[in-house]
Amino acid sequence: MMPPLEVAGRCQRVRERFDQAEALLISDLTNIRWLTGFTGSNGWVLLTPQDVVLVTDGRYGDQATAQLAQAGVDGRVIVGLSGAAMLDALADEVSPYASLGFESAHVTYEQFQRFQGLFKATLVPVGGVVEAARRHKDAGEIARMAEACRIADAALSEVLLDGLEGRTEAQVRNQLEIRMRELGAEGPSYETIVATGPVNAARPHHRPTNTVIEAGHTVIIDVGALYDGYHSDMTRTFFVGEPTPQQLELYEVVLAAQCAGVAAVETGVSTAELDGVCRDAIEETGYGEWFSHGTGHGVGLLIHEDPFINRTGDLKLQVGDVVTVEPGVYREGFGGIRVEDLVVVTENGCRVLTASPKDSPCPPSPPTT
């Protein structure tokens, strides 16, 4: 039995963190979902000292009312039948307040100009208030992400049983995504990456093509599931046929860096320090320039969210953060190798949510018929 999401207290927790203006306007839809349970594709939430007001369009009125009630959020829903009507309704609701915080990373320049024209309140740019609160995943959120990981693990193990050689990247992607659906996922957590050979696997975010997986290739598979709005994220790398000494050497380099990264995850570690653990491990072997991206990122209702783990990261890990640890090396001509786990920061280190084996880059042999 999945523990429930504890949505009801979230608006109050954000209010308690926020003192920069009398009221706060939330425009980011992920923040709105987290605060209220509303999953529609259009809306604003106004958080006042007493009230939660959701403004949406005609497609979502009934749905919004039901979703807020189900989440236990005591809020009002206002429907505007056009974008202009929504803005007018919002202006009415804002009118009692002298100052209004807005999400400066989500409000566009154009929207800001419109708000300035319509609202009498002083507009106060605010950064990441809800995002900071979203970092702490509750038991219901972690259970959903663990289930998403379980689904992706199961799908990957089934695909490997069928073997990789001779299939196209797109065929492997399709099988993974279909099996994740059948295993209970809403869908893939992101565009599944299957990247094979000296060119495609050298691109960390390659999109699957009709390239055939052949002996001698490195194959990067980066796959996650979406479960009740929550994402998982995992990467494994495989060699097809007998691996070359360089392939094996670099796999050991990346795996050692990744394991060191996972071992270093604990509360209080800064995101730059954690990035450094993986980066130093790879740089010491002389392959530092092949590691062309950050070490990881937070995961939750978004596949990429705070805390981002890279050279310039200045956040400290805290209990309830769910983050990836995913160093990799890439070079056109060689291909690429990445190993990635999803972990949740606990009181005493971390718990790894992804369970696919990573000790060897050689996939199990497909059954012979």
Q: Is residue 62 close enough to count as binding a second copy by CB under 8 A?
A: yes
Question: From residue 73 to residue 92, what is the string marking binding to a second copy with x (rule CB under 8 A)?
Answer: --------xxxx--------
In the complex with a second copy, the residue whose CB is nearer, 261 or 320, is: 261
Q: Is residue 233 close enough to count as binding a second copy by CB under 8 A?
A: no
Indicate the SS3 state at residue 73: coil
CA dist 24 → 12, 99, 103, 123 (Å): 12, 9, 8, 10
Q: Contact 303/120 with Cβ under 8 angstroms?
A: no
In the complex with a second copy, the residue whose CB is nearer, 134 or 338, is: 338
Beta carbons within 8 Å of 191's beta carbon, 6+ residues apart: 207
Question: From residue 257 to residue 286, what is the string marking binding to a second copy with x (rule CB under 8 A)?
Answer: ------------------------------
Q: Find out whether the peptide bond into 357 is cis, omega within 30 degrees of 0.
A: no
Burial of 367 (C-beta count, 10 Å sphere; 0-12/13-18/19+): exposed
In the complex with a second copy, the residue whose CB is nearer, 48 or 63, is: 63
Instruction: Name the β-bridge partners of 337.
Output: 329
Rounded Cα gap, residues 349 and 336, in angstroms: 29
Residue 125 Cβ vs a second copy, minimum distance, rounded to whole Å: 6
Q: Is residue 141 close enough to count as binding a second copy by CB under 8 A?
A: no
Beta carbons within 8 Å of 136's beta carbon, 6+ residues apart: 318, 319, 320, 321
In the complex with a second copy, the residue whose CB is nearer, 134 or 353, is: 134
Q: Is residue 106 close enough to count as binding a second copy by CB under 8 A?
A: yes
Tokens of 137: 């995943």
Residue 95 Cβ vs a second copy, minimum distance, rounded to whole Å: 22
The answer for 299, left when phi > 0, alpha when psi is -120 to 50, beta otherwise, is beta
Q: Is residue 168 close enough to count as binding a second copy by CB under 8 A?
A: no
In the complex with a second copy, the residue whose CB is nearer, 131 or 320, is: 131
In the complex with a second copy, the residue whose CB is nearer, 298 or 320, is: 298
Residue 113 Cβ vs a second copy, minimum distance, rounded to whole Å: 7
Residue 189 Cβ vs a second copy, minimum distance, rounded to whole Å: 13
Indicate the SS3 state at residue 147: helix
Rounded Cα gap, residues 249 and 139, in angstroms: 39
Binder among 16, 19, 117, 312 for a second copy (CB under 8 A): 312
In the complex with a second copy, the residue whose CB is nearer, 75 or 101, is: 101
Question: From residue 183 to residue 222, what is the string marking binding to a second copy with x (rule CB under 8 A)?
Answer: ----xx--x-------x--xxxxxx---------------
Q: Is residue 113 close enough to count as binding a second copy by CB under 8 A?
A: yes
Binder among 1, 16, 49, 110 for a second copy (CB under 8 A): 110
Which helix (H) or strand (E) segment is 348 a member of?
A: none
Rounded Cα gap, residues 40 and 226, in angstroms: 17
Q: Is residue 70 close enough to count as binding a second copy by CB under 8 A?
A: no
Q: Contact 101/89 with Cβ under 8 angstroms?
A: no
**Which residues make up the interface to a second copy (CB under 8 A)?**
39-41, 57-63, 81-84, 102, 104-110, 112-113, 125, 127, 174, 177-178, 181-182, 187-188, 191, 199, 202-207, 292-293, 310-312, 332
